[in-house]
Amino acid sequence: MASDMTSRRVPWVALALSFLSPGVGHIYCGRIAKGLPLYFAWLLVPLCAVLAALVPPSVTVLMLLLLLPAVAVLLVYLYAAIDAWRLASQIGSDYSLRDYNHAGVYWLLIVVQLIYSIGLIVGMRGFVYEAYLIPASSMSPTILNGDRILARKLLPANYFPERGDLIVFRNPTPSIADAFVKRVVAVAGDHIEIRGERLLINGKELERDRVPDEILKFLGKQLSGRVEFEVNSGHRYLVAYGDYSEGGRAEGDFDATIPERHVFVLGDNRDRSNDSRHFGSIPVGDIVGYVDYIYWPSESWSRFGVLNDRLP
């Protein structure tokens, strides 16, 4: 409801309120019907992210449910600030104050959205998706040094890691890194043998395939040594051997049976990876996420998108 009191609407105040919380600048200018939708636009991000975590990974999901909503919210910020400035400039000094035109209302809305934003960031990272920067080459050629990935944390209660999964887990030997990214090659009850470059699961050597020349040509810029496809329980992925550019070869032969509720992990860059050959099997409870996407590749944008190595 308008009052008999009038007050000038100051453009820089409308701009500042909009930057602090989109929509509040419009409410300051008396456009509450337009301000509230802008104010609640933040709800778009968590809703889309939760939906993305519940459906199979794909480039479409990455674009429409993860990246596009984030970009949309940034655009809302810019639009809200510019439009609030424009409105305040047009209104001038003849604005009739509404009942909600009080500093306390503005600050309440700003504080509520600030608390919500902090909760959103903590909740998203803790329970839905978390972004990671890869600082090493132990997962090359699948994930390269400098890649930025998204790891999914929202999973069915009864989900158990499978052979071939790419996982993020707590570092079993805390040092510089808090978490590692590796590939699950064996699960609870499996008997694993490593004989040089040969990998055997339950007595059967994993199949290897030749890599096409065009892929080798592309990878030649990032890796030295030999690259092959490895097939494990419906997953087909690239592994590298003989990369000595940063030091010596990883330790050789290994023989073990994986305990209950544990998994055995290896880096795809087999000779340059600190993995279960060194620190043993990983408790399932130490897994913090499953890698779904490269959202910012370190080199070619042809590698942008879903990390899906399942065979059809």
**pLDDT tens for the 312 residues of the chain, in order:** 444 566 889 999 999 999 999 999 999 999 999 999 999 987 788 788 888 888 888 888 988 888 888 888 889 999 999 999 999 999 877 788 999 999 999 999 999 999 988 888 888 888 999 999 999 989 999 999 999 999 999 887 778 999 999 999 998 886 667 899 999 999 999 999 999 889 999 999 999 988 887 777 766 555 667 889 999 999 999 999 875 444 445 456 889 999 999 999 999 999 889 999 999 999 999 999 999 999 999 888 888 999 888 876
Residue closest to 270 by CA, chosen among 226, 304, 300, 305: 226
Residue 126 three-state SS: helix
Buried b (16+ CB within 10 A) or exposed e, 61-79: bbeebbbebeeeeeebbee
pTM recorded for the entire structure: 0.82
Annotated catalytic residue 138: yes
Catalytic residue chosen out of the listed positions 21, 138, 276, 281: 138
Q: Give the integer Cα–Cα distance in Å for 311 and 308.
A: 9
pLDDT digits (tens, 9 = 90+) for 90-121: 987 778 899 999 999 999 999 999 998 888 88
Q: Give the integer Cα–Cα distance in Å for 182 and 166.
A: 6
Element holding 228 (H helix, E strand): strand 226-232
pLDDT digits (tens, 9 = 90+) for 222-231: 566 788 999 9
pLDDT digits (tens, 9 = 90+) for 232-241: 999 999 999 8
Cis peptide before 312 (omega within 30 of 0): no
- Are β-strands 262-266 and 179-187 bridged in parallel, bridged antiparallel, or unpaired? antiparallel
Catalytic residue chosen out of the listed positions 18, 140, 182, 273: 182
pLDDT digits (tens, 9 = 90+) for 208-217: 988 887 777 7
Q: Give the integer Cα–Cα distance in Å for 27 and 158.
A: 47
Domains and CATH numbers, the chain: 2-129 (no CATH), 134-306 (2.10.109.10)
Find tokens 């007595």 and name the residue. Answer: 203
